[in-house]
Amino acid sequence: MSGLRILVPIKRVIDYAVKPRVNRAQTAVETAHVQHSMNPFDELSVEEAVRLRERTSEVTEILAFSAGPQKAQDILRTAMAMGADRSIHVVVEEKNALEPLGVAKLLKKVVEENKSNLVILGKQSIDDDAGQTGQMLAGLLNWSQATQASKVEVKGENVTVIREVDGGVETLKAKLPMIITTDLRLNEPRYASLPNIMKAKKKKLEKKTLADYGLDTETRLKTIKVTEPAARQGGVKVEDVDGMISKLKELGAL
Amino acid sequence: MFSVARQSALRQARTQLRFAQPTALLRHSALSRLLSTLAVLEQRDGKLNVSSLAAITAGTKLGGSITAFVAGSGVKTVADEAAKVKGIEKIIYVENGAYDKGLPENFAPLLVENIKKGGFTHILAGHSAFGKNLMPRVAALLDSQQISDITEIESEDTFVRPIYAGNAILTVQSSDGIKIITVRGTAFPSPEVEGGSATIEEGVDPKADSPTEWVSEDLAKSDRPDLGSADKVVSGGRGLKSKEEFDRLMPPLADALGAAIGASRAAVDSGFADNSLQVGQTGKNVAPQLYLCAGISGAIQHLAGMKDSKVIAAINKDPDAPIFQVADVGLVGDLFDKVPELTEKLKAQ
């Protein structure tokens, strides 16, 4: 295999610092006029791809990809300002949003079309918290997978990944092609500098539609309702440690 | 003509049935015959991972038969142990060391073969590192849209799960023939581990190769209760200022309570505590009887992982910290004074 052709799928989500509100009709979370940004785990994916290029000279291409509304091109520009070479945007309106399985099927076609041999995805998106797409793509392609990666090393075709598991870490070895999903400890994403933001405007952003990929986009899950979580009872403040202990006893927690 | 006759015959039959017993019951029993659950259990070094039994509890709520699945080396003993768990009808085990580390590359085809052979309608596993890694791959191979981290079961096809870091609760209905589901352990209490008598059967082993090789692991050793299933959790945040202070203040408090230790992302990022202790949207979800935290402000990502705790107690020097909005008991004060004092007074009890 000649060099690394990295695909980085990214998603536009409500900014992590915003407290989401459920809409009045209880059909979804309110997204209009709400600050959006790149899914934080996807920033880690872009950063890792760029660092791989900085660490090795084996990276042939970094392709950023997003399937989402018009405005998803903003996050693709961000990815290119961070160091991605070009990007593909499949325009999908919010009301027709794909499920992880649909995204995985789409990504399989993108991988084949662009001859990617390493796909780096976030371990989950912070909106639907499903954590499925990377593993599904690995299954569809029958490739190796290393999820929740906190360290990645590539030497030729050999990839070593340290991944976060319950109670600690484990180390895996695999050969390209493979799928990696990122965990928070993997790296610290860079900020795009102004010159790089300007340069990113000249990089290629290709627009496509689902029809171009000939995909069946019927969803399997139907939203019945979206509600606010049960509010916790307002608690009390105590004056001192003794007050805390007696209150905890009263509540049956001690 | 014929169809009219058939309809009226049907109507008659229906009416008779309706008299015989309530419709809801009838529907339930009809479903139970069709519905069969496969619960994927976890094992480590030939020992059953008890927290994976939440899948059994969830299966019980679905109705229908429950078969448990376990694979690895020496799993016959795990199967014998699991056979005593209440609610399990049958246990399928596959004895093969290739499955010890739960690598999805060979574990997913193994599950798929056994799912197809058994004709299961619902596949359940815990939303643990193992379940999160494996189940979506299984779902893709079966062309099913997985439902992750459910907290409630409304019916055989309708499930409840938190989204947006627990800031919204989604109810979804699945149209997939085989439903692949991971369950939140804290939402489904472990079943009784005595009194059951499941039959044990060997499963099919497709012996798929894994292109991925497991090299090593480094697990934090701890005598304390497991964070995910502990009754009590004490948790520290950025307010502890350093790893030395974290290690000086938190373990004695945990010992005084018999609690597990957790941490906020800020504390983990600053290197005060190991990553595996992180509580929150991207760490562990806990729902203990008591969650006692010190020096944690209460960012939404942290609250996502602990706000289902029965009682939340917080010590923070900032009276306006968001943690006080969810805490049942709040103490405004310097944790460097209050935590040692609390530890001493708890020990004295």
What are the structural domains, with CATH classification, of chain B? 35-202 (3.40.50.620), 232-348 (3.40.50.1220)
- What six digits make up the tokens of B189? 């209490």
CB A64 within 8 A of CB A12: no
Whether residue A135 and residue B218 make contact (CB cut-off 8 A), yes or no, is no
Closest approach of B14 to chain A, Cα-based (Å): 29
Helix (H, G, I), strand (E, B) or coil at A122: strand
Give the closest of A20, A146, A237 to B167, CB-based: A20
Of A130, A143, A183, the CB nearest to B148: A130
Q: What is the pLDDT of residue A217?
A: 78
Shortest Cα distance from A63 to chain B (angstroms)? 24
Instruction: Quote the mean pLDDT of chain A.
Output: 95
CB contact (8 A) between residue B327 and residue A138: no
Separation of alpha carbons B49 and B56, rounded Å: 12
| β-pair partners for A163 | A149, A170
- Which residue in this structure is represented by tokens 């299984």? B138
Give every CB contact of residue B127 below 8 A, 6+ residues apart in sequence.
B148, B149, B182, B183, B184, B185, B285
Using the beta-carbon criterion (under 8 Å), do A19 and B311 form an inter-chain contact? no
CA B135 centroid distance within chain:
13
Task: Tell me if B342 and A245 make a contact (CB, 8 A cut-off).
Answer: yes
Q: What are the backbone angles phi and psi of residue B255, rounded to the nearest 5°?
A: -65, -40
Q: Are strands B152-155 and A86-91 parallel, antiparallel or unpaired?
A: unpaired
Boundaries of domain holding A138 = 4-250
Q: Residue B26 has what pLDDT? A: 45
| pLDDT of res. A233 | 78
Residue A237: list chain B partners with CB under 8 A: 319, 324, 329-332
Q: Tell me phi and psi for residue A68, to 5 degrees.
A: -175, -175
Q: For residue A94, what pLDDT band results from cuts at 50, 70 and 90?
A: confident
CB contact under 8 A, B140 and A219: no
Residues of chain B with pLDDT under 50: 1-5, 7-27, 29, 32
d(CA B145, CA A253): 40
Nearest-Cα distance to chain B for A201, in Å, is 31
Cis previous bond, B22, omega within 30: no
User: Given this model, what pLDDT does residue B33 score?
Assistant: 55
Weakest-pLDDT range from A40-49, A193-202, B126-135, B213-222: B213-222
The answer to whether B139 faces chain A, any CB pair under 8 Å, is yes
Task: Tally the domains of chain A.
Answer: 1
Nearest CA among B78, B115, B112 for reference residue B200: B78
- CB pair distance less than 8 Å for A184 and B101: no
Predicted pLDDT of residue B269:
92
Q: Does A65 score more than 50 pLDDT? A: yes
Give residue B34's pLDDT: 84
Smallest Cβ distance to B220: which of A132, A168, A223? Answer: A168
To probe the interface with B, which of A101, A107, A119, A135 has the most B CB atoms within 10 Å?
A: A135
CA distances for A158 relative to A59, A164, B212, B329, angstroms: 14, 20, 11, 53
Give the ipTM. 0.95
Q: In chain A, what residues touch B167 (CB-CB under 8 Å)?
A: 19-20, 29, 228-229
Yes or no, beta carbons of B104 and A146 under 8 Å apart: no
- Measured CA to CA, the distance from residue B108 to residue B111 in angstroms comes to 5
What amino acid occupies position A47? Answer: E
Residue ranges of the binding site of B for FAD: 238, 264-265, 278-282, 295-302, 316
- CATH classification of the domain holding A51: 3.40.50.620
B329 and A236 in contact by Cβ < 8 A? yes
Q: Find all residues with CB under 8 Å of A214, minimum gap 6, and list them.
A: none
Nearest CA-CA partner of A219 in A136, A98, A133, A67: A98
Q: With an 8 Å Cβ cutoff, are B105 and A234 in contact?
A: no
Closest chain B residue by Cα to residue A165? B129
Q: What are phi and psi of B9, to 5 degrees?
A: -65, -40
| DSSP notation for B305-347 | HHTT-SEEEEEES-TT-THHHH-SEEEES-HHHHHHHHHHHHH
Q: What is the pLDDT of residues A221-230, one digit of tens each?
A: 999 999 999 8
Higher-confidence residue of A243 and A231: namely A243
Distance, in Å, from the CA atom of A57 to the CA atom of A59, rounded to the nearest integer, reads 6
